[in-house]
Amino acid sequence: MAIQNLKRLLASRGLKVGHSIFEFNSPGLGQIIATAGVDFVFLDMEHSGFDISETKRAIAGLRVGNIPALVRPPSDNYHHIARALDAGADGLAMPMVGTREQAEHIVSCMKYPPMGKRGVALSLAHDHYRPGKAVEVLAAANKRTAFVALIETAEGVENIDAIASVKGVDCLWIGHFDLSCSLGINGQFDHPDFRKACNAVKKAAVKHKKALGRLSPDPAECISLYKEGYDVICYGGDLWVYQKALIDGITAVRDGCTPPKPKKGAKGK
């Protein structure tokens, strides 16, 4: 099976649809997700309980379904970046990217020399346990590994043009909840300040030819975002999709099984 190239996927034209994993880590998840036609998975380590071992197992399961794994580490510390990549992440969604310097630091941690300073350990999960010539393997990894910059702060918006100009940044992704909070308008996604910030990120993505991403739990909103210029759409998350389906199903069962109320004026026997 060919190794998925998330970087190439993000650079391709047209819609890229993903799904996020925050809660579940079943060995069959990759195959289940693949049947839905998902292009990539956003695997979260920042807000979930996933440690590096669980992340590694989850990525192995996703590979069975041939689904690229975009992993969000807890921070931009070198050991968080390098370990997530060594565990097999096809790319990283880095939280709270606020400056050009931070973006350059992340690229340096993600890439092997001469592009960066990532430590070398070959024939591990990130190489699909395949042997190979070091020069070729390292160069291929540098070409394949994707970097998604999460723009979640007012600082990130202020510096968006500089961030987008960094070589190695493949996608600008608006973290809408955190961004709204950073702007002082918690959850007010129709607020003029939020829309202005999103427009600034969109313009930078177009100018520097970067993919533009965002997460939404609602299919109608996903469609609307695509029409607005977002080409990387992450539809919902594992626990929320499951929770909604369960609530809808249980509610329908209870409603269908509830005895009809007696009509007014009816006399009991």
- What are the residue numbers of the active site? 47
Q: What is the DSSP letter of 37?
A: T
Residue 237 has which token pair?
Answer: 């998350």
CA distance linking residue 82 with residue 118, whole number of Å: 7
Tokens 């313009």: give the residue: 203
Strand partners, 18: 40, 234
**Which amino acid belongs to residue 161?**
D
CA distance linking residue 81 with residue 16, whole number of Å: 24
Tokens 């060594």: give the residue: 86
CA distance linking residue 230 with residue 198, whole number of Å: 11
CA distance linking residue 98 with residue 145, whole number of Å: 21
Whether omega before 262 lies within 30 degrees of 0, making that bond cis, reads no
CA distance linking residue 23 with residue 228, whole number of Å: 30
Q: CB within 8 A of 141, min separation 6: which ones?
A: 112, 126, 127
The terminus-to-terminus CA distance of the chain in angstroms comes to: 72
- E-state strands within the chain: 16-21, 40-44, 69-72, 91-94, 146-151, 171-174, 211-216, 232-237
Question: Residue 151's closest CA among 94, 193, 190?
Answer: 94
